[in-house]
Amino acid sequence: MKKSILSILAIAFTVLTFNAQSKEGYIKYSIDMSSENTEMQMGLAMMSGSKMEISFKGEDSRMKMNMGSFMTIETVTKNNNDVLLLISGMMIGSTAVKTTKTELEASEGTPEMSVEFESETKEILGYLCKKAVVSSGENKGLIFWYTEKMDMPDNQMLNANGLVPGVILEFETIDGEMNMAFTAIDVKKEIGDSITFSLAIPEGFDEKTFEEFSKMSGGGF
């Protein structure tokens, strides 16, 4: 289950990077997780009702995942580089990690990714969405449903993960023993003043290095 925490975080961080091509916005997703692995099913039961919220403005972004009664994971990214991870809940207590996007990507390695755009479409929250399948090597890893109809102007600073245009409103894994589906349930084009992108560590959190956190969580991404 510890390994799954980093897998979930890696997927969410990838989608956050895709969505952050827009200048400002807020998206809330419901999360559905399932597995045929009996041991994993016990852990996933505690994650019922999970949600993920993504806020982004310019080169700053914030992601918060409420994993049911299991734990809460937050990431704050400043200037598309410096990252603060906040993890609270079962297993590892309240832990804060200051790192960088580069360190996060290096811990997993950067596999060559390709995208296949398909003709299938569907409507999500009133937006026409197109389908894209993102693959790494022989493995098809994620299905994305994205819209180019949302009025969020693109940021000119594209990144290595910027394979899917527009804004992603639904995505799901199609490989691995744990299946995850994220579906947008709320979208806003402005985030307001209540969302901050501070890298200050909140009171009550125990700061760890990224190496220490990786060992606690069962390895790198």
Range 83-107 average pLDDT:
82
pLDDT of 154 strictly over 50 = no
Cα 44 to the center of its chain, rounded Å: 18
115-to-35, 131, 133, 139, 159 alpha-carbon distances in Å: 25, 10, 6, 12, 15
CATH number for the region 2-216 comes to: 2.50.20.10
Range 38-64 average pLDDT:
81
pLDDT, mean over the chain: 77
Indicate the domain borders of the chain. Answer: 2-216
Lookup: tokens for 165: 């245009």
pLDDT, position 67: 82
- Residue where the block lists tokens 């894994």: 173
Lookup: tokens for 209: 């290095």
Burial degree of 126 (CB within 10 A; 0-12, 13-18, 19+):
exposed
Nearest to 140 by CA among 162, 113, 165, 180: 113
Rg (CA), the chain: 17
- Decide: 148 and 197 in contact? Cβ < 8 Å: no
Buried b (16+ CB within 10 A) or exposed e, 32-53: bbebeeeebeebbebbeebbbb
Query: Which residues, including other chains, have CB under 8 Å from residue 45's CB and lie 6 or more apart?
Result: none
Q: What is the pLDDT of residues 6-20, one digit of tens each?
A: 556 666 656 655 555
